[in-house]
Chain A
Amino acid sequence: MARIHWRYGPPLTQPVIDIIKLFHQKSFSHGVIFELGLILSLAGSVVTLLFIPIGTICPLNVAGGLLVVLYLMLLAPIGIALSGGGGSNPNISIGISRKMLLALSYEVPFLLVVLTVMIHYKTISLVSLVELQRASGWGIISLPLTGIAYFLILPAMLGIRPFDMVEAPQEIASGLKVEYSGKFLVVYYIEHALRRFIVIALFVNLLLGGAGEPFTFLVKMLVVFVICVCINAVFPRFRMEQAIRFNWTWPTMLALAGLVIACIWGGYG
């Protein structure tokens, strides 16, 4: 990202250094809900991760994996919102309302995308989804509109620019994380990183065909992530209503069109 800005940037180990420092720092708590909410969100993300196949490794391989993931992904924002409510800072309430509105705006196309994939491959198990795609080619080739729709909402789901209004440091003083310090901030960061990992891993699994071994999978994820970082580096920030309008027009329309096409091809029309 720094190279795009024409500067040197920090060393690659900077996040590790930050986390070591934050563990060492003294941290302030704002009550039980403040702590438990964070733990709930971290737990939600970790459990979601267990349901997602990384290559062929999938610790919790169940028949209805995709639906479980859809439900579990909601735990993390709720936990963060609870925890922020315990912090009782006006900036946090603005951050929470923005996060929830943003989630509302990207969940609609996201659910349509997932529904399309489920209808096209006639399965709700993530593992068999990956196997079907390895047999018949990538999902993004047979469902191009759906793939584009997911790619358009990817920045919003990752919380990067142009959709980083949840954590806008210049407007609302980092929004949600304004009261977190030390160890709480570490938990917040790890949860955030896990969430990014989950979203990109879902993209790779649903539409980029998954992978046979974990290494190929991680390479695919890295490619998607680098593209997202490039988007992050060159775009300014949307306003809230612009973001919702964007998410409810182009990605939703594309996803809906993809759903209709999938239904007709699948013989449900």
Chain B
Amino acid sequence: MLTKWLKQPQKMGDKYSLWAIYFCTGCGIIEVPPVITSRWDAERFGVIPVATPRQANLFLITGYVSVKTLKAIIRTYEQMPEPKYTVGFGSCPINGGMYWDSYNTIKHLDKYIPIDGWIAGCMPRPEAIFIAVTHLWTLIDKGMATGYKRYREKYQYYRKNQEKVLGKLTWPPQFHTGNDDV
């Protein structure tokens, strides 16, 4: 344990101090207050809620994503400092869930921003968040939670998908997209 801290302090720091920003897109947010307050007490795991994306490194997307909120999600994700981890909470961000045939809901969120982990269920129990956090620890330990690196490498792909849904984006691309006229 101690040798791990001495060898890779930055990785262990990322692991045990996940500051979360919750995106209240849908019904999933109702599970979050019991998780962060004294009933389930997420602070035991180093997960505390912060109010601004500038300080967060864990992004929880709770519930279904409409086209309008996708814009806000992308902007929030791009404002977070690297390294950053994203977890989709509930079945709606995975494949649309019960809104699978809705005209205004994003079905596969991982086409638009990279997702490091999913919590399936409708709704997941608060304990599922802790399972997700411990799984994320394992992923960070093995160096597999590389969503932010993927976003940088395949930014062109993500940006193209974002533009397909949202039309012309009002903000400049975060990374180089390959073609200079964009």
Q: Does A26 have its Cβ within 8 Å of any Cβ on chain B?
A: yes
Q: Are A185 and B9 in contact (CB under 8 A)?
A: no
Partner of B17, one of A17, A170, A180: A17
Chain A nearest CB from B11 CB (Å) reads: 8
Q: Are A25 and B43 in contact (CB under 8 A)?
A: no
Please report the C-alpha to C-alpha distance between residue A27 and residue B19 in the assembled complex, in whole angstroms. Answer: 15
Residues of B with C-beta under 8 A to A7? 38, 41, 43-44
Chain B nearest CB from A45 CB (Å) reads: 21
Residue interface mask B112-136, A partner, CB < 8 A = 1 = 0000000000000000000000000
B10, B57, B81 — most chain A CB neighbours (10 Å): B81
Q: Are B52 and A173 in contact (CB under 8 A)?
A: yes
Please report the C-alpha to C-alpha distance between residue A7 and residue B42 in the assembled complex, in whole angstroms. Answer: 10
Chain B nearest CB from A161 CB (Å) reads: 16
Q: Are A25 and B81 in contact (CB under 8 A)?
A: yes
Q: Does A21 have its Cβ within 8 Å of any Cβ on chain B?
A: yes
Partner of A6, one of B38, B48, B54: B38
Q: Are B43 and A20 in contact (CB under 8 A)?
A: no
A9-B43, A17-B17 are known contacts. Are A25 and B83 too (CB-CB below 8 A)? yes
Q: Does B97 have its Cβ within 8 Å of any Cβ on chain A?
A: no
Q: Are B9 and A20 in contact (CB under 8 A)?
A: yes
The interface size bin for chain B is 20 to 34
Please report the C-alpha to C-alpha distance between residue A7 and residue B25 in the assembled complex, in whole angstroms. Answer: 28
Residues of A with C-beta under 8 A to B50? 169, 174
Interface of B is mostly: loop
Residue interface mask B55-97, A partner, CB < 8 A = 1 = 1010000000000000000000000011100000000000000
Q: Does B31 have its Cβ within 8 Å of any Cβ on chain A?
A: no
Partner of A25, one of B9, B38, B51, B82: B82
Q: Are A182 and B17 in contact (CB under 8 A)?
A: no
Q: Does A71 have its Cβ within 8 Å of any Cβ on chain B?
A: no
Chain B nearest CB from A65 CB (Å) reads: 37
Q: Does A245 have its Cβ within 8 Å of any Cβ on chain B?
A: no
* 8 Å CB interface, A21-55 against B: 21-28
Partner of A9, one of B10, B16, B44: B44
- B10 to A, closest residue via Cβ: A24
Residues of B with C-beta under 8 A to A20? 9-10, 12-13, 17
Q: Does B46 have its Cβ within 8 Å of any Cβ on chain A?
A: yes
Residues of B with C-beta under 8 A to A25? 57, 81-83
Q: Does B141 have its Cβ within 8 Å of any Cβ on chain A?
A: no
Residues of B with C-beta under 8 A to A22? 13
Residue interface mask A1-26, B partner, CB < 8 A = 1 = 01001111110001001101111111
* 8 Å CB interface, A168-184 against B: 169-170, 173-174, 177-182
Q: Does B110 have its Cβ within 8 Å of any Cβ on chain A?
A: no
Q: List 24 A-B contacts (CB under 8 A).
A: A6-B38, A7-B38, A7-B44, A9-B43, A10-B44, A10-B48, A14-B17, A14-B43, A14-B46, A18-B13, A18-B17, A20-B9, A21-B10, A25-B81, A26-B81, A173-B51, A174-B50, A174-B51, A174-B52, A174-B55, A177-B55, A180-B54, A180-B55, A181-B81
Instruction: List 19 other contacts, CB 8 Å, given A17-B46, A21-B10.
Output: A2-B41, A7-B38, A8-B41, A10-B43, A17-B17, A18-B19, A20-B12, A21-B16, A24-B10, A25-B81, A26-B81, A169-B51, A174-B50, A174-B55, A178-B54, A179-B54, A180-B55, A181-B55, A181-B81
